[in-house]
Amino acid sequence: MKRVDQRVDVLNFKKLLYLMSVLILISLGLWWGSKLLSNKNIEAKVERQVSEAERSPEVSEQQILISSKQIEQVGIKLHTLGASSTNIQKQIILQGQVQWSPESKVVLTSPVSGMVQQVLVQPLAEVTRNHHVLAVHSPDLIQIQNEILQLRAQQQLAQQNLTRERSLYAEGIIAEKRVQEAQNQVQRLNINLGAKQRMLQFMGGGQVNSLNSIVYVKSPTSGYIENLQVSTGQYVEAGTVLGQLVNADSPLQLLLQANLADSKYVHIGDVVQVEGCDITGHIQNIAPALVGNTQTQNIIVQMDTKHNCLRVQQFVKVHVQSKQPTVIAAWPVPSTAITSQDGKHIIFVKNQKGFEAVTVEVLSADQQQSYITAEKLKPKMQLAISGVERLKAVWSGFGAEQAPISTTER
- Is 260 in the same domain as 187? no
- Is 24 in the same domain as 128? no
Q: What is the mean pLDDT of the chain?
A: 79
Q: pLDDT digits over 82-132, tens only? A: 887 766 777 788 999 998 888 888 888 888 888 898 999 988 888 988 899
CATH number of the domain residue 271 falls in = 2.40.30.170
* Domain span holding position 348: 58-88+327-402
Alpha helices in 55-175 (DSSP H): 68-74, 139-170
In a domain, 409, yes or no: no
In a domain, 407, yes or no: no
Model confidence at 207, pLDDT cuts 50, 70, 90, reads low
Residue 404: pLDDT over 50: no
- Is 255 in the same domain as 233? no
Residue 38: pLDDT over 60: no
- Residue 300 has a pLDDT of 94
Q: Rounded to whole angstroms, how far apart are CA atoms 225 and 231?
A: 15
Q: What is the mean pLDDT of residues 269-294?
A: 87
- Residue 33 has a pLDDT of 61
Model confidence at 399, pLDDT cuts 50, 70, 90, reads very low
- Is 265 in the same domain as 395? no
Residue 325: pLDDT over 70: no
- Is 237 in the same domain as 189? yes
Model confidence at 190, pLDDT cuts 50, 70, 90, reads confident
- Is 303 in the same domain as 369? no
Model confidence at 53, pLDDT cuts 50, 70, 90, reads very low
Q: What is the mean pLDDT of residues 299-321?
A: 87
CATH number of the domain residue 62 falls in = 2.40.420.20
- Residue 396 has a pLDDT of 79
- Is 96 in the same domain as 138? no
- Is 303 in the same domain as 342? no
- Is 230 in the same domain as 119? yes
Domain count, the chain: 4
- Is 130 in the same domain as 171? yes
- Is 125 in the same domain as 230? yes
Model confidence at 6, pLDDT cuts 50, 70, 90, reads low
Q: Rounded to whole angstroms, how far apart are CA atoms 174 and 371?
A: 102
**Angle, nearest 10°, between helix axes 139-170 and 176-202?**
160
- Is 149 in the same domain as 241? yes
- Residue 19 has a pLDDT of 64
Q: Rounded to whole angstroms, how far apart are CA atoms 38 and 41?
A: 5
In a domain, 410, yes or no: no
- Residue 383 has a pLDDT of 92
The alpha carbon of 141 is separated from its chain's Cα centroid by a whole number of angstroms, namely 49
The alpha carbon of 357 is separated from its chain's Cα centroid by a whole number of angstroms, namely 27
Q: Rounded to whole angstroms, how far apart are CA atoms 16 and 291?
A: 99
